[in-house]
Amino acid sequence: MTIWEILGFALLKILVIVSIMLLTVSYLVYFERRISAWAQNRLGPNRVGWEGILQPFADVLKLLLKEDIVPYQANKTIHTLAPIIALFVAFTTYAVIPFGPTINVFDYSIPLVVADVNIGILYVLALTSLGVYAVTFAGWSSGSKYSLLGGIRSSAQMISYEISMGFSIGGVLLLAESLRPLTIVETQGQWLWNAWIQPIGFITFVVSAFAETNRLPFDLPEAEPELVGGFHTEYSSMKFAGFFLAEYANMIVASGLIVTLYLGGYNIPFINIETLGLPAWLPVLIYISAFLFKMAALLFFFIWVRWSIPRFRYDQLMSLGWKVMFPLSLINIIWVAALIMIFNL
């Protein structure tokens, strides 16, 4: 395969993933509003289109037509750069998450992942650590004490939970002996998922993902009773929409990571699709559907938790991160290492 063919296939996968993510993010907002209405016995959006199905397009149009207001005391360059960083991190992180097995197209072996790199997990950790800059820059550059407090809270929160997240992934890497996401999926097989082998690591990673994405009950950087709107108080129009899109895109990335690292990726439990004698294209479609189904279930869980659990106090949040999550993630690594030594996994 020539370099141009590799670049062509990579560009095609990028266009497909970005298009799907933009559409999914738009409708994820709609589904969140519908699910929250169901949880609170309300109607939710039901006016624009059948059952409100066109509401995301109305929201985008409204935000496009709003005036972009920048505070007089703001640092305009950083103020503009912050939502761009947030969107960049959210969309580029997905590049190494495999959504299906390697397929053959015109005698070419094409992995269903944008970038099949051996250091994929390090790439994810590096990019997610950049997300804190977007929030901190937004808070500092706005020239508002409320925004600044939200940015500072976010930086402290993300740092504390990134440590737990990194150590939680350590157990997965010990079992897979690789940083390549496709290899991690393949080593989990059909049913021996990492969630069953290391439930402590799975739980700590999921809780850390909530904190990383600034979702309730860990949305202290946006706490309305204390900080008005948090780090994005002084944002309007499409800049505000950038942070909004980045939050939901991060939910998709977090769900994809959880599926890849702990829930077997695109594998289906207890069924070997390859032995069923199906047409060549059908197993691939089944694998992709299984991956998307697991992601959809996790996204529903993200939304469900938001409308079920009240917000933590800031001291409770930090105590949970340093006094509970961090020790549990260390215990998880010791547990996995012991399993490897005893059972030669």
Using DSSP's 3-state secondary structure scheme, residue 108 falls into strand
Q: Give the per-residue pLDDT at 333.
A: 92
Residues forming a β-bridge with 104:
109
Distance CA 142, CA 243 (A): 14
Cβ of 229: how many Cβ atoms within 10 Å? 17
Write out the two tokens for 10. 């990579």
Write out the two tokens for 90. 């959210």
pLDDT, one tens digit per residue, over 58-95 is: 888 888 888 888 888 888 888 889 999 988 888 888 88
Residues forming a β-bridge with 103:
110
| DSSP designation for 221 | G
3-state secondary structure 27-61: HHHHHHHHHHHHHCCCCCCCCCCHHHCCHHHHHHH
Q: Give the per-residue pLDDT at 225.
A: 65
CB 136 within 8 Å of CB 219 = no
CA 60 to chain centre: 22
Please name the residue ranges forming H helices in 93-215: 120-141, 145-176, 181-187, 194-197, 199-212
Residues forming a β-bridge with 105:
108
Distance CA 241, CA 157 (A): 23
- The label of the residue with tokens 């995301």 reads 56
- The DSSP-derived string for 158-179 is HHHHHHHHHHHHHHHHHHH--S
- What radius of gyration do the chain's Cα atoms show? 21
Using DSSP's 3-state secondary structure scheme, residue 105 falls into strand
| DSSP designation for 215 | -
Q: Give the per-residue pLDDT at 233.
A: 83
Residue 53, phi then psi, degrees to nearest 5: -70, -20
Q: What is the mean pLDDT of each run of 10 residues along the chain (345 residues)?
A: 72 80 85 89 86 87 85 86 89 86 73 83 87 86 83 80 88 90 86 89 91 79 68 84 87 92 87 72 85 92 88 84 90 91 80
Residue 118, phi then psi, degrees to nearest 5: -75, -15
Question: Could you check whether the bond before residue 279 is cis, i.e. omega within 30 degrees of 0?
Answer: no
Write out the two tokens for 101. 């097995």
Q: Give the per-residue pLDDT at 203.
A: 93
**pTM of the model as a whole:** 0.90
CB 131 within 8 Å of CB 250 = yes
Instruction: Return the closest-CA partner of residue 225 out of 314, 137, 318.
Output: 314
pLDDT, one tens digit per residue, over 181-229 is: 988 998 887 778 999 999 999 999 999 888 888 787 887 767 666 667 7
Q: Give the per-residue pLDDT at 273.
A: 75
- The label of the residue with tokens 């590799």 reads 6
Write out the two tokens for 104. 């053959």
Distance CA 100, CA 208 (A): 25
Q: Give the per-residue pLDDT at 309.
A: 85
